[in-house]
Structure 1
Amino acid sequence: MNSFDSCPAMETAMLSQIDVFHDCFDQVEDPRVPGRTTHPLNSILFLVVAATIADADGPEEIECFGNERLDWLSRFADFPHGIPSHDTIGRVLSLIKPEQFQQALLDWHTQLCQQYRDAEDKLDRDEEQSLPIHVAIDGKTARGSYTNAEKSNAIHFVSAWASKHGVTLGQTEVDSKTNEITAIDELLDFIDVRGTIITLDAIGAQKSIAEKIHRNGGDYIFAIKDNHPKLANAIREHFELVHEEGLKANGVKSKKTVGKKSGRQEERFYAVCPIPPEMKAMTDLWAGATSIGQAITQTERNGECHVEVRYFLLSRPARVGEFAISVRSHWSVESMHWVLDVVFHDDASRIRTKNATANFTFIRRYVTTLLKQDTTKRSLKQKRKKAGWNTDFLEKLMFSA
């Protein structure tokens, strides 16, 4: 007996969610020759999503999962000729457009969240929408995607990560003929930046990117380093001066936190202030620039002390609490990259076709979101394994938000 047999209402709700899945994935164009396809595209994509959640890494394991769970899969999608081969799965993922696949996954997740909100009706929508959403943009290389002996042509992606919500909003491949700056610019065309605070490392701190974010209704916090030497020196010299003369006397808001993590003592100091008059001529070239910030991290472990000082340019008002949260939250994207490597073996994957690499990389990010939304006290690895063993748990991960 499955979970639906004893709960008709749950079965009706699940069928509605299945319809939502197919509606969202209908926007993915089928690149195969019409009339010469054996397996429906949506069925293949449903199989890929379910199998990836259930601890399958790559086309061969997806095919194996499908053959073991064909009866369960057939409740949600059509498999008139059985499970497609791993060659078919890999070929389809190498042909479909990554931006369409990403949008379908994001739309599906949005629809599931909306259904949950409508059912619970507990959120104050106006208050929620007034709060800025932190989005960290950062790059990651799919290290196993190289095709030459030097391993120098591995594919690199830039992704946008909504840290609080744990959702990847989109990713763009870095074209070897261009660079990461161009990829960031393209990624900003894909996502809606309204009501967000975009944080970027120094490589993304560009006047053109600041202008695009500001023009489209977003805000930014840019790390400023030696790629902008005059601005970096001006910010550094200003904070050195105000530390000597007094922070409050110079209108600087500051915050200090102390904590212990993984056997090391961490002390973090944050300071932010409006752009001083003597820097206006320089910062006016950056659309929306309003404030400058400083973050000092002092880490002590095994008697050794390491100090890192970073400087920032902001389009937000000088609010030290918001600044501290945004700067600290940016590194959550690094945690997500660690998850991709450890839980999904992303760096070990030898999928090398560009579209396939992009599609598999994004679906791993998407599945990470689903796994983290489950609040049971298990590791992400354990959740994936349980989803492979227990289809009720797999359904919960797929159809709950």
Structure 2
Amino acid sequence: MLSQVDVFHDCFDQVDAPRVSGRTIHPLSSILFLVVAATIADADGPEEIECFGNERLDGLGRFADFPEGIPSHDTIGRVLSLIKPDQFQQALLYWHTQLCRTHHDAENQADEAGDSDDQPVHVAIDGKTSRGSYTNAEKSNAIHFVSAWASKHGVTLGQTEVDSKTNEITAIDELLDFIDVRGTIITLDAIGAQKSIAKKIHDEGGDYILAIKDNHPKLAEAIRDHFELVHEMGLTKHGVKSKKTIDEKRARREERFYAVCAIPSEMKAMTDLWAGATSIGQAITQIEEGDKCNVEVRYFLISRPAKVSEFATSVRSHWSVESMHWVMDVVFHDDASRIRTKNATANFTFTRRYVTTLLKRDTTKRSLKQKRKKAGWNTDFLEKLLFAA
């Protein structure tokens, strides 16, 4: 039976080596192992990865081969700029799958694949700009990524760079080609609310909850008018299911109201243009903090039956991908990173997302920052994070 270390190297042997055969001294899988391990252990960027490797060479030698010592930061940066991001992502995700199979019993394996009770898996898709990746004086050409996040399992499923000559809609379409949407509920902000994207999700066996705003003015107005009417006439009387939650912490009060119903007949001609559309939804958030009160009302087009608890959970869970963006900036200093060399930005960004998954799976009552620090100091803790998924 393969050890966990062997499994790692088997996964990363699937990544095409970008260097000339016979002229390399560092195994590719060892370099990639070093990158992942160092990123867990609070290293940000090639220089810090090299430094970490030199300080922890003896411990790292238990898991990877470094016959000529730790590669230089130039070598690390060059390798990550040459390997294909889609192959690197697939290798990381495959490694994660193998770890889970090793450490979970059969019931948990089924849950990892998509919930043993056949409940759909929520996947949030959203975009983020790596603000430090600009090259012009106006800072206007920073690289933007769209990523997919399985909120319940805390796993990044993939990311796609938004090409400067296209837009985020094209990147979302490409990302949907990368992930398996069967048995999922995909949530997307207004920019992703496109008929072509809805059709792709529906045709491939997934469901969607799309935020509808003024980029579809007639549909947005129709949904808004319907909910305003049923609030006046009575929600239950018009087949609307609703739910309200209240969270209070110190001086902050969050009140959330969710309503969902089948698409009304007078709206069918409009919504029939959206493949699979079945329901419409409304989410009202009121946040009171001190003497300030902020109210936000959002409307949605849904390809699922009108289930208010499922709708509320999915809409609320979409925030988790935005929380991931906060983690990337605060814990991994993503916005401060000045890396921009071919594929290097994409590969480093996905490494940070993947490492976040490993850090969050550890149940130790420490912050993510503290876990990264400890992993840098303690090889046993680093090994636990790497191999005890």
TM-score, normalised via structure 1 length: 0.94
Structure 2 Cα separation of the partners of residues 151 and 85 of structure 1: 29
Structure 1 Cα separation of the partners of residues 140 and 107 of structure 2: 51
Q: Over residues 294-331 of structure 1, what are the superposed CA-to-partner deviations in whole Å (9 max), with x where a residue is unaligned?
A: 00011111222211100000001000000000000001
Instruction: Letter of the 2:371 partner, please give it.
Output: K
Structure 1 Cα separation of the partners of residues 21 and 192 of structure 2: 42
Alignment of 1:2-401 (within 5 A): 16-118=3-105, 128=116, 130-261=118-249, 263-401=251-389
Instruction: Letter of the 2:85 partner, please give it.
Output: P
Q: Over residues 70-111 of structure 1, what are the superposed CA-to-partner deviations in whole Å (9 max), with x where a residue is unaligned?
A: 111111111111000000000000000000000000000011
The residue aligned with 1:6 is: none
Deviation of 1:266 after TM superposition, in Å, equals: 1.0
Instruction: Letter of the 2:200 partner, please give it.
Output: K
Runs of 4+ residues over 3 Å off in structure 1: 120-127
Structure 1 unaligned residues grouped into runs of 5+? 1-12
- Paired residues of 2:101 and 2:109 also in contact (CA < 8 A): no
SS in 1 for 2:171: helix
Structure 2 Cα separation of the partners of residues 352 and 99 of structure 1: 17
Deviation of 1:127 after TM superposition, in Å, equals: 5.8
SS in 2 for 1:130: coil
Deviation of 1:121 after TM superposition, in Å, equals: 5.4
Q: Over residues 263-308 of structure 1, what are the superposed CA-to-partner deviations in whole Å (9 max), with x where a residue is unaligned?
A: 3211110000000000001000000000000000111112222111
Q: Over residues 168-208 of structure 1, what are the superposed CA-to-partner deviations in whole Å (9 max), with x where a residue is unaligned?
A: 00000000100000000000000000110000000000000
Instruction: Letter of the 1:96 partner, please give it.
Output: I
SS in 1 for 2:104: helix
- Paired residues of 1:142 and 1:154 also in contact (CA < 8 A): yes
- Paired residues of 2:46 and 2:76 also in contact (CA < 8 A): yes
- Paired residues of 1:54 and 1:388 also in contact (CA < 8 A): yes
- Paired residues of 1:155 and 1:354 also in contact (CA < 8 A): no
SS in 1 for 2:29: helix
The verdict on how the C-alpha distance between 1:121 and 1:250 changes in structure 2, with shifts beyond 3 A counting, is: closer
Structure 2 Cα separation of the partners of residues 54 and 283 of structure 1: 50
Instruction: Letter of the 1:169 partner, please give it.
Output: L
Instruction: Letter of the 1:27 partner, please give it.
Output: Q
Structure 2 unaligned residues grouped into runs of 5+? none
Deviation of 1:131 after TM superposition, in Å, equals: 1.2
Instruction: Letter of the 1:213 partner, please give it.
Output: I
The residue aligned with 1:7 is: none
- Paired residues of 2:82 and 2:344 also in contact (CA < 8 A): yes
Q: CA RMSD in A?
A: 1.3
- Paired residues of 1:97 and 1:355 also in contact (CA < 8 A): yes
Q: Over residues 27-55 of structure 1, what are the superposed CA-to-partner deviations in whole Å (9 max), with x where a residue is unaligned?
A: 11011111111111001001001100011
SS in 2 for 1:173: strand
Q: How many corresponding residue pairs?
A: 387
Deviation of 1:261 after TM superposition, in Å, equals: 3.9
Deviation of 1:354 after TM superposition, in Å, equals: 3.4
Structure 1 Cα separation of the partners of residues 3 and 20 of structure 2: 30
SS in 1 for 2:254: strand
Structure 2 Cα separation of the partners of residues 147 and 250 of structure 1: 55
Percent identity of equivalent pairs: 84
Structure 2 Cα separation of the partners of residues 127 and 79 of structure 1: 40
The verdict on how the C-alpha distance between 1:127 and 1:213 changes in structure 2, with shifts beyond 3 A counting, is: closer
The verdict on how the C-alpha distance between 1:263 and 1:335 changes in structure 2, with shifts beyond 3 A counting, is: farther
Instruction: Letter of the 1:39 partner, please give it.
Output: H
SS in 2 for 1:347: helix
Moved more, 96-105 or 69-78: 69-78
